[in-house]
Each structure stands twice: as structure tokens, then as C-alpha cells.
Amino acid sequence: MRGRGVLKERACKSCKMVTTLEECPVCKEKTTTNWLGYVIVINAEKSKIAEKLGIKNKGKYALRVK
């Protein structure tokens, strides 16, 4: 039995958004399971990390996508 209900999370190669889909729901780029760490952005306009990563919308984003 594999972990029931646990979906493998993926990250978009373009905008770094974390999703369980194979295609990014935002920019339609392919996603990858090869990513490290994540940041949750609640207010992109006030977040220094979001600014650094170029994130404009709230959500969960990978810090590094290979």
C-alpha cells in the first residue's frame, strides 16, 4: 500500500507554483517533481521573498526547481 491520499507534489518549471497537476494551472508549463523547499505566499505585494522570486500571486511556490 502506498500512502493513501498523499499526492505527489510537483512544481512549475516557469512560475514555480506547487501543484499536483502535470501542467501548471497558471501558465500551462510542464511541472516537475524535481524541486526543493517551498514558500507560502499570502500577500505577494508585501512579501520580500515573493519579490525576490518574482511571484505576483498568492500560493505555494518551490524555492528551487531543477
Contact window for Zn ion (CB under 5 A) among 3-11, 28-36, 41-49, 50-58: 28-36
- The correct pick among 21, 27, 36, 49 for binding Zn ion (CB under 5 A) is 27
- Measured CA to CA in angstroms, residue 6 lies from 3, 15, 41, 59, 63 at distances of 6, 23, 22, 19, 21
Contact window for Zn ion (CB under 5 A) among 1-9, 25-33, 47-55, 56-64: 25-33
Angle at 48 (CA atoms; ends 20, 38), nearest 5 degrees = 25
26 touching Zn ion, by CB under 5 A: yes
41 touching Zn ion, by CB under 5 A: no
